Amino acid sequence: MKNKLFFTAIFLGLFTALSAHTSSSGDTIILRSDIETEKITRDLDSLVSSWYVRMALRDFPFDFEHDSAGIVLPDSIYEKRLSQIHSVINLPFNSIIRNHIHVYTIRQREKFAAVLGLMNYYFPMIEDIFDSYGLPSELKYMAVIESALNVNAVSRVGATGMWQFMHSTGKAYGLTINSVIDERRDPVKSTHAAARFMKDLYNIYNDWILVIAAYNCGPGNVNKAIRRSDNRKDYWEIYYRLPRETRGYIPQYVAAAYAINYFGEHRIRPLPLNIPVSTDTIMFNKDIHLSQISEVMGIPAGEIRVLNPQYRTGLVPGSSKPMALTLPLAHLGDFIDLNDTIRNYKSDVYLSKATRIDDPSRTTFTPVSITGKTRLNYTVKEGDNLGFIAEWFRVGLSDLRNWNNVYSNRILVGQRLVVYVDPARSEYFEKINSMSFAEKQKMVGKSIPSNTSATATQTLATASDGEYITYTVRNGDTVWDIARMFGDVTPSDVLKLNNISDPAKIRVGQILRIRKKS
């Protein structure tokens, strides 16, 4: 009788689909679906700030009004479709899994389109590596719930890369992690490390669902949950003993498997990403900087960084040991021909000690001064994220966070943000609040007109020869910020034209020449 009551209780607990459970102390704890799906939303928000996705959105902006409600289906259809996915990993269905499916197919369907675009690039590589280790190829869906396939993803606790390795686990599985190189961001090396980790976990549990759970929270937590559940080794029987995030991990995995296999039935189209399908790797035994390659060969800096995300500062330290560099196959011949020219190009700037340690995008944050700047308010709209807003207003992301006391990527529709801008362009920036998403995306990279009432000292002044415009350096400016104001101007253009060898030595009041657009 006791056994019958026990299994009845287990059945009822699962039937309620995780809406509530009782802790070991007897307290009832409510599980909120919005909390459980928060990580998916956070990862997708982070993904749309990545370079290839931003470039695609410039040409194919999200249309949030088109079919924004998505398609809500009866549970029987979700369950049937899951049963038809070829998988050695069991794909169950319950209401919590349905809620996670709705995140991908309804609530975040536009951003999930970006994941689908990356999937065509990364999944073949992941499948090849997993096959070499004898792992089920469907474990590739874990990369979607770990990072939304974002190689530069960083969690709140510091887990990094597509496979979200913590520092200690990454080092344990052979990844190099220091101030210059972080191989957790290398999609190939981190996938090999993830495969080795999963294989070790399977040797412990002989159950792929427990492998997926242990990958998320660590084998120690899974072992503890098993011991506290009378040594039961079924995921759903130890469910309530697992950490909260892991309780949502398997439903997320099943939801990702469903959404990736049936996105077409939900009228979701992959975002077209211009990622080079054909790439090749060349080994370096001398130091080189990614910016040298970008500027000499005309490859966008964002593109070459995405292809080589493991080099944190942009420096490829080949002099310490041979280092791999990934390039689009179409550029490989030119790169070999220009090898010496590239390495000698501005070597005093890009291979200096300062460059080896610091990268303009990764320096320690010091808030920019707001003295003399105009304060504007911006109301967050659907589809916005902090990265987009910072680009639209031409301000630093760290500054935007600091001004608004925002320390995560999560912002809410209707939330009011404070932005401080150059008073000479305040009239232009004021219009952003009333622009559509597509209009705001189109202005990225374009030069900004000055207020008609601005004085010459507040704005850009045209030089007498008509070939240049001048800019007066203000408090908080960097060469990289100034170049960004003029759209197609690079930091190197500014440095070269003004005979500046050290980007850190520009000073307030200094007048810089900027070549006009042709």
Give Cα separations from 274 to 110, 117, 296 (angstroms). 18, 9, 21
Confidence of residue 278 (pLDDT cuts 50, 70, 90): confident
Q: Supply the pLDDT for residue 209.
A: 93
- Residue predicted with more confidence, 409 or 98: 98
Q: What local confidence, expressed as pLDDT, does residue 40 receive?
A: 64
161 — pLDDT class (breaks 50, 70, 90): very high
The confidence score (pLDDT) of residue 7 equals 33
pLDDT of residue 358: 39
**Per mean pLDDT, which range of 212-216, 264-268, 462-466 is the poorest?**
462-466
Give the Å distances, CA to CA, from 277 to 161, 282, 383, 434: 21, 16, 28, 38
State how far the Cα of 325 lies from the Cα of 288, in Å rounded to an integer.
Answer: 10
When pLDDT is cut at 50, 70 and 90, the band that residue 465 belongs to is: very low
353 CB-contact burial (10 Å; exposed 0-12 / middle 13-18 / buried 19+): exposed
Range 259-284 average pLDDT: 86
Per the model's pLDDT, the better-predicted residue between 43 and 382 turns out to be 382
Higher pLDDT, 100 or 49: 100
494: Cβ contacts below 8 Å, ≥ 6 apart: 479, 482, 483, 500, 512, 514
Give, in order, the Cα–Cα distances in Å from 281 to each of 196, 298, 328. Answer: 23, 19, 9
Answer whether residue 248 shows pLDDT above 50: yes
- What is the per-residue pLDDT for 18? 30
Residue 282 and residue 334 in contact, taking contact as beta carbons nearer than 8 Å: no
CA distance 358 to 366: 14
Asked whether residue 175 carries a pLDDT value surpassing 90, the answer given is yes
Give per-residue pLDDT as tens, 147-160.
989 998 888 778 89
For every residue of 33-81, DSSP letters joined together read: HHHHTHHHHHHHHHHTTSHHHHHHHHHS---TTTTTT-----HHHHHHH
The model's pLDDT over 467-506, given as tens digits with 9 standing for 90+, comes to 777 777 775 567 766 776 665 677 777 888 888 876 667 7
Percent of the chain with pLDDT over 70: 74
Average pLDDT (320-340) is 86
Q: pLDDT at position 361, please?
A: 37
**Does position 62 have pLDDT exceeding 80, yes or no?**
no
User: Torsion angle, CA of 20/22/25/29, rounded to 10 degrees?
Assistant: 0
Give residue-wise pLDDT tens across range 291-329.
889 888 888 888 888 899 999 888 999 888 889 999 888
Q: What is the pLDDT of residue 347?
A: 83
Among 182-186, 357-361, 373-377, the range with the most confident prediction by mean pLDDT is 182-186
Q: What is the DSSP letter of 468?
A: E
Residue 447: pLDDT over 70: no
**Which pLDDT tens digit goes with each residue over 74-95?**
999 999 999 999 998 989 998 8
d(CA 506, CA 371): 19
Q: What domains are there in the chain, each with its CATH number?
A: 37-266 (1.10.530.10), 279-357 (no CATH), 374-442 (3.10.350.10), 461-515 (3.10.350.10)
Which residues contact residue 340 at a Cβ distance below 8 angstroms, ignoring those fewer than 6 apart? none
pLDDT beyond 90 at 182: yes
- pLDDT over threshold 50, residue 32: no
How confident is the prediction for the chain on average, in pLDDT?
78
- Res 45: pLDDT: 63
Contacts of 134 (CB under 8 A, 6+ apart): 199
pLDDT band at residue 127, thresholds of 50, 70 and 90? Answer: very high
